[in-house]
């Protein structure tokens, strides 16, 4: 038996909120600087001119993703400051949903910037360490929208418990 009689699901939901807070970056478990090297990667693989990414469209993608990541991290920091109790609420579903998407977008852009070099699977094929790591991250982060509750479940929790929408 988990907790009081007929209260096991309440305990289970609270445990899931803690898991989601870690996945979403609220507990400090998610790497804060995971996307920091994107501009450096773009300059290396796409090229640079005057210390800027040479391709305007790529520069725009990198800038947009960097701004989204910074806004997310600042919002998570503010949320952590506001919630000093240490008990995560239903808003963790928002952070899990958005955080998982940002992680996937970062890995996808990194792989895209590397082109075919971002598809390395074996060290013997001439891929460097960063290229192999980019592929591994990209593959691993496909699962972030599933574990801890799928994106569909998170959207349902947000609709019902955060926004108060009817069933």
How do residues 59-93 score in pLDDT, each as one tens digit? 999 999 999 999 988 888 777 776 666 666 667 77
Q: Where are the domains of the chain?
A: 15-162
Contact 111, 43 (CB under 8 A): no
More confident residue, 16 or 77: 77
Cβ-based neighbours of 10, under 8 Å, separated by 6 or more: 3
How do residues 142-164 score in pLDDT, each as one tens digit? 887 777 677 788 888 888 878 88
- E strands of 7-150, at which residues? 48-49, 52-53
53 membership: H or E segment, kind and range: strand 52-53
Based on C-alpha coordinates, what's the Rg of the chain? 19
How do residues 35-68 score in pLDDT, each as one tens digit? 568 999 999 999 999 999 999 999 999 999 999 9
CATH class of 15-162: mainly alpha
């Amino acid at each position: 038996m988990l907790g009081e009689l007929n209260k096991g699901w309440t305990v289970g939901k609270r445990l899931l909120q803690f898991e989601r807070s870690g996945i979403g970056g609220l507990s400090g478990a998610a790497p804060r600087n995971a996307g920091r090297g994107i501009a450096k990667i773009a300059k290396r693989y796409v090229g640079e001119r005057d210390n800027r990414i040479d391709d305007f469209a790529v520069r725009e993608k990198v800038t947009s993703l960097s701004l989204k990541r910074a806004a997310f991290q600042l919002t998570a920091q503010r949320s952590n400051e506001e919630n000093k109790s240490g008990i995560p609420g239903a808003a963790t579903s928002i952070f899990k949903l958005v955080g998982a998407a940002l992680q996937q977008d970062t890995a996808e852009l990194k792989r895209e910037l590397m082109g075919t070099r971002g598809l390395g699977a074996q060290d013997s094929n001439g891929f460097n360490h960063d290229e192999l790591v980019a592929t591994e991250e990209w593959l691993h982060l496909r699962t972030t929208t599933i574990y801890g509750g799928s994106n569909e479940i998170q959207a349902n929790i947000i609709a019902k418990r955060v926004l108060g929408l009817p069933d």
